[in-house]
Amino acid sequence: MNSIIYEDNQIYIQQEQSEIPWLKIFTKEPYKELGDLPKELREKLWKVYDTVEFHMKFYYKPTKINMASFANVLPRVHIHVMARFENDSYFPNPMWGEKLRDANLNLPSEEKFFKELLIALNK
């Protein structure tokens, strides 16, 4: 199940169920490709991305942030933001790549992360 953790009049953010912190940023108005977004909405999308990336880095201290936009099955552009750890099940492969181990990540409280992120997004 995907759950919406944030929305405003232009954007919403869904959580992807995963062993890692993984959020997906959607525009409410659907577009096929990034280049199809109006300039103002693109700027808004990257502003939201920056806030998500900053707070993932600050809170989880991941080895690396991963970002991607595919939408091949349903051609509706959205941005994946993932906090990656050197001991997660796929690292250094992308989360869509070959699984390399069975990880047992001991991450801090998701609720606290969402709380801090929402405060920042609502500023």
Q: Which residue ranges make up the site for a copy of itself (CB under 8 A)?
A: 32-35, 42, 46, 49-50, 53-54, 57, 63-73, 75, 84, 91-94, 96-97
The distance of closest approach from Cβ of residue 40 to a copy of itself in the complex, given in angstroms and rounded to an integer, is 14
Minimum CB distance to a copy of itself smaller for 41 or for 65: 65
Sequence-distant (6+) residues with CB within 8 A of 65 are: 53, 56, 57, 81, 82, 83, 84
Three-class SS of residue 4?
A: strand
Minimum CB distance to a copy of itself smaller for 3 or for 101: 101
Of 31, 20, 121, 100, whose CA–CA distance to 61 is shortest?
A: 20
Question: What is the rounded distance in angstroms from the CA atom of residue 59 to the CA atom of residue 3?
Answer: 20
The distance of closest approach from Cβ of residue 25 to a copy of itself in the complex, given in angstroms and rounded to an integer, is 13
The DSSP bridge pattern shows strands 22-27 and 11-15 to be antiparallel
Q: Do residues 79 and 67 touch, judged by C-beta distance below 8 A?
A: yes
The distance of closest approach from Cβ of residue 32 to a copy of itself in the complex, given in angstroms and rounded to an integer, is 8
End-to-end Cα separation, the chain, in angstroms: 28
Minimum CB distance to a copy of itself smaller for 8 or for 50: 50
The distance of closest approach from Cβ of residue 2 to a copy of itself in the complex, given in angstroms and rounded to an integer, is 18
Minimum CB distance to a copy of itself smaller for 3 or for 105: 105
